[in-house]
């Protein structure tokens, strides 16, 4: 049995060859094609490609700009966050310091000393820029020297001499008895040395003080040399001797001047008001409306070292308050040392005068009258 093959289209070989030749021949190939159409296709393709390239470039640029903007926004946020963190840290630091100060204040660090109310009122401003109340030590010294020279009303008994001087001393003794709390203040140096405030605004106390100084330094001065006597050798010798004597006695006057200045009232009402507030109930002296610098120092000392309450208050004071007390005490010590130094200078002058007097009358000494020599 024979299998039949499917029918196939048989193309003659001659037709195939002719078709191939027709395609391969150029003139024949473009014979039916439009050049303008091909150019339009190419131009369109080129335009499409350019447009596409521009869109891609714009897209890329836009993405880059968006990325930059996003990074800039992130940077701003980071800066703002850092700023807020710094501000928060500053606020926390301020709050922390406030809490520290508050805790220190509650612990008593800034509490004033127990006596601050009187300390800050000017205990060391002795005098307060005001003049002395009453007669000061330098006034008494000048008055005594004028008397010794026979000047003015105070020097009238000296100008009369002899009995007039003795009468003056006796009258003052009898007239000034019991003044200042002493039976005979004109001969009792305690009137000055034991007075915490010598109220020389009282005329009788001032007179007793002056008489006491005169009785110590120069009780019986000689008559002053007259003008006619000064022209004679004897009168000239008396003037020279008296000048030497007055110079040496001035050393004693300087001591009493210093003691009087620190004991006489000064500072006015401000210092007196301070003293009345500062002096406690255990203060041993009376505080009046007139106070000396010596009494101001005395009140300061008694308000502390002689005051048991002060010693107890020290234990309750904060360290800063204790330091303020120490500084105030050191300032007072400095003032007292300066007062002592002033006295030491005057005492040194007295010792020098005593040394000079002790060699008078010896060979080569100048104690005798220059005319007699």
Q: Identify whether residues 77 and 186 lie together within a single domain.
A: no
Task: Take residue 198 and report the two structure tokens written for it.
Answer: 């010598």
Distance CA 300, CA 279 (A): 8
Averaged pLDDT for residues 200-218: 93
Q: Identify whether residues 130 and 66 lie together within a single domain.
A: no
Q: Please tell me the predicted confidence (pLDDT) of residue 362.
A: 72
Residue scoring higher pLDDT (61 or 332): 332
Q: Which of 100-114, 291-305, 349-363 has the lowest mean pLDDT?
A: 100-114
Q: Identify whether residues 354 and 266 lie together within a single domain.
A: yes
Whether the per-residue pLDDT at 255 is higher than 90: the answer is yes
Whether the per-residue pLDDT at 368 is higher than 70: the answer is no
Whose CA is closest to 148, among 252, 219, 46, 254?
219
Residue scoring higher pLDDT (28 or 211): 211
Q: What is the pTM of this model?
A: 0.62
User: Total structural domains in the chain?
Assistant: 2
Residue 23 lies inside a defined structural domain of this protein: no
Residue 186 lies inside a defined structural domain of this protein: yes
Residue scoring higher pLDDT (193 or 18): 193
Last residue of a domain, one of 83, 106, 129: 106
Last residue of a domain, one of 106, 133, 160: 106
Residue scoring higher pLDDT (187 or 116): 187
Q: Cβ(141)–Cβ(203) under 8 Å?
A: no
User: 292 pairs with which residues across the strands?
Assistant: 265
Q: Please tell me the predicted confidence (pLDDT) of residue 266.
A: 79
Q: Please tell me the predicted confidence (pLDDT) of residue 142.
A: 92
Give the percent of the chain with pLDDT over 70: 72
Residue 111 vs residues 115, 187, 322, 324: alpha-carbon distances, Å: 11, 51, 10, 11
Residue 338 lies inside a defined structural domain of this protein: yes
Q: Identify whether residues 77 and 122 lie together within a single domain.
A: no
Distance CA 21, CA 131 (A): 147
Residue 30 lies inside a defined structural domain of this protein: no
Q: Identify whether residues 51 and 157 lie together within a single domain.
A: no
Whether the per-residue pLDDT at 325 is higher than 70: the answer is yes
Q: Identify whether residues 126 and 63 lie together within a single domain.
A: no
Whether the per-residue pLDDT at 282 is higher than 80: the answer is no
Q: Please tell me the predicted confidence (pLDDT) of residue 221.
A: 92
* HSE (side-chain half, CA atoms, 13 Å) at 108: 11
Q: Cβ(197)–Cβ(294) under 8 Å?
A: yes
Q: Please tell me the predicted confidence (pLDDT) of residue 126.
A: 46
Whether the per-residue pLDDT at 11 is higher than 60: the answer is no
Q: Identify whether residues 77 and 202 lie together within a single domain.
A: no
Averaged pLDDT for residues 237-244: 91
Whether the per-residue pLDDT at 281 is higher than 80: the answer is no
Q: Identify whether residues 132 and 197 lie together within a single domain.
A: yes
Distance CA 368, CA 345 (A): 28
Q: Please tell me the predicted confidence (pLDDT) of residue 211.
A: 94
Q: How confident is the model over 75-94, as pLDDT tens digits?
A: 777 777 788 888 888 888 88
Residue 133 vs residues 34, 48, 75, 142, 223: alpha-carbon distances, Å: 138, 117, 79, 17, 33
Domain that holds residue 232: 116-358
Last residue of a domain, one of 52, 79, 106: 106
Of these ranges, 258-267, 300-309, 324-333, 337-346, the one predicted with the greatest mean pLDDT is 337-346
Residue scoring higher pLDDT (191 or 24): 191
User: 265 pairs with which residues across the strands?
Assistant: 292
Q: Identify whether residues 91 and 155 lie together within a single domain.
A: no
Q: Please tell me the predicted confidence (pLDDT) of residue 179.
A: 93
Q: Please tell me the predicted confidence (pLDDT) of residue 210.
A: 94
Q: Please tell me the predicted confidence (pLDDT) of residue 254.
A: 94
Q: Cβ(161)–Cβ(222) under 8 Å?
A: yes
Residue 135 vs residues 147, 254, 355: alpha-carbon distances, Å: 16, 15, 32
Whether the per-residue pLDDT at 292 is higher than 50: the answer is yes
Residue 3 lies inside a defined structural domain of this protein: no
Q: How confident is the model over 112-149, as pLDDT tens digits?
A: 555 554 443 444 444 444 455 778 889 999 999 999 99
Whether the per-residue pLDDT at 241 is higher than 70: the answer is yes
Q: Please tell me the predicted confidence (pLDDT) of residue 243.
A: 92
Q: Please tell me the predicted confidence (pLDDT) of residue 118.
A: 46
């Amino acid at each position: 049995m024979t299998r039949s093959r499917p029918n196939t289209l048989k193309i003659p070989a001659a037709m195939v060859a002719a078709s191939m030749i027709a395609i391969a021949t150029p003139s024949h190939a473009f014979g039916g094609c439009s050049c303008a159409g091909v150019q339009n296709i190419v131009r369109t393709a080129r335009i499409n490609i350019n447009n596409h390239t521009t869109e891609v470039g714009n897209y890329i640029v836009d993405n880059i700009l968006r990325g930059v903007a996003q990074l800039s926004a992130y940077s701003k946020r980071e800066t703002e966050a850092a700023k807020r963190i710094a501000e928060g840290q500053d606020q926390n630091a301020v709050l922390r310091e406030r809490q520290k100060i508050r805790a220190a204040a509650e612990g008593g660090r800034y509490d004033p000393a127990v006596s601050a109310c009187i300390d800050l009122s000017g205990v060391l401003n002795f005098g307060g820029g005001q003049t002395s109340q009453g007669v000061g030590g330098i006034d008494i010294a000048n008055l005594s020297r004028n008397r010794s020279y026979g000047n003015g009303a105070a020097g009238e008994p000296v100008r009369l001499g002899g009995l007039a001087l003795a009468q003056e001393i006796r009258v003052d003794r009898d007239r000034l008895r019991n003044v200042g709390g002493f039976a005979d203040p004109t001969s009792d140096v305690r009137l000055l040395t034991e007075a915490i405030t010598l109220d020389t605004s009282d005329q009788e106390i001032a007179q007793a003080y002056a008489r006491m100084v005169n009785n110590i330094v120069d009780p019986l001065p000689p008559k002053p040399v007259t003008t006619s006597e000064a022209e004679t050798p004897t009168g000239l010798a008396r003037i020279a001797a008296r000048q030497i004597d007055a110079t040496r006695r001035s050393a004693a006057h300087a001591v009493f001047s210093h003691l009087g200045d620190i004991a006489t009232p000064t500072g006015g009402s401000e210092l007196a008001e301070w003293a009345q507030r500062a002096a406690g109930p255990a203060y041993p002296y009376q505080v009046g409306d007139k106070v000396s610098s010596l009494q101001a120092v005395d009140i300061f000392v008694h308000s502390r070292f002689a005051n048991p309450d002060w010693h107890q208050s020290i234990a309750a004071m904060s360290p800063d308050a204790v330091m303020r007390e120490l500084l105030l005490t050191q300032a007072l010590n400095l003032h007292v040392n300066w007062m002592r130094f002033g006295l030491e200078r005057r005492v040194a002058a007295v010792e020098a005068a005593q040394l000079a007097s002790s060699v008078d009358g010896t060979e080569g000494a100048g104690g005798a009258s220059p005319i007699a020599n």
